[in-house]
Amino acid sequence: MRPANRKAVRRYLDPGERIRLEARPHGAALVRPLLRALVLAVGGGALVVYAMPHAWPLGVLGALALAYAAFTTLRAVLAWDRTVLVVTSAKLLVVHGVVRRRAASAALPAGGAVEVDQGLLGRLLGYGTVAAGDLEVPYVPDPGRLVR
């Protein structure tokens, strides 16, 4: 974990609490937003290339679609990069946000039990959803580490 992320996480820990696992969401969390941005970029690019000589307002619309696709991509990657999942000796903690940092935590039940849910695609790609109490965290890489 990068030092900036580590510093952001440490402020949410209680004295004497030990970190057992730190992880960033699995890359699969980026698939949907990046596919949407790709479709938007392809459509916008087609409008720019094919419509600009004949109907310039459509070309401008295409350029705006390209800009929005770039913004969507940047926002998704930043959100993914600035999200940290931490399992400590006492709780499950998720810290996320770029401009405004937010944290959610759930105390681990007796024995530190957490629930792990993996679908077929999650098992193939190595990610799953982890739940402890009311907190549910999707796209956790290698959720089997939590069980171990």
**Partners of 92 in the beta sheet?**
87, 106
98 and 140 co-located in one domain? yes
CB atoms near residue 88 (< 10 Å): 20
Q: Say whether both 11 and 58 belong to one domain.
A: no
pLDDT surpassing 70 at residue 147 = no
Residues 36 and 71 in one domain: yes
Q: Is the model's pLDDT at 144 over the cut of 80?
A: no
Say if residue 101 is in the same domain as residue 143: yes
- Counting beta carbons within 10 angstroms of the beta carbon of residue 44, is it exposed (0 to 12), middle (13 to 18) or buried (19 or more)? buried
Could you read off the pLDDT of 104-117 as tens digits, one per residue?
A: 888 877 665 678 88
Asked if residue 124 and residue 93 are part of one domain, the reply reads: yes
Q: Are residues 72 and 101 in the same domain?
A: no
Q: How many CB atoms are closer than 10 A to CB 53? A: 8
List strand residue ranges (DSSP E) for 1-148, in order: 19-23, 84-88, 91-96, 102-107, 115-117, 127-132, 135-141
| Same-domain check for residues 41 and 21 | no
41-50, 56-65, 134-143 — which is least confidently predicted? 134-143
Q: Model pTM?
A: 0.77
- For residue 44, what are the contacts with CB-CB under 8 A and spacing of at least 6? 61, 62, 63, 64, 65, 66, 68, 69
- Asked whether residue 21 falls in the same domain as residue 88, the answer is yes
For residue 111, the enclosing domain spans 3-25+84-147
- 119 and 96 in one domain? yes
**pLDDT tens by residue, 68-106:** 999 999 999 999 988 888 888 788 888 888 788 888 888
Return the half-sphere exposure (C-beta side, CA atoms, 13 A cut-off) of residue 47. 18
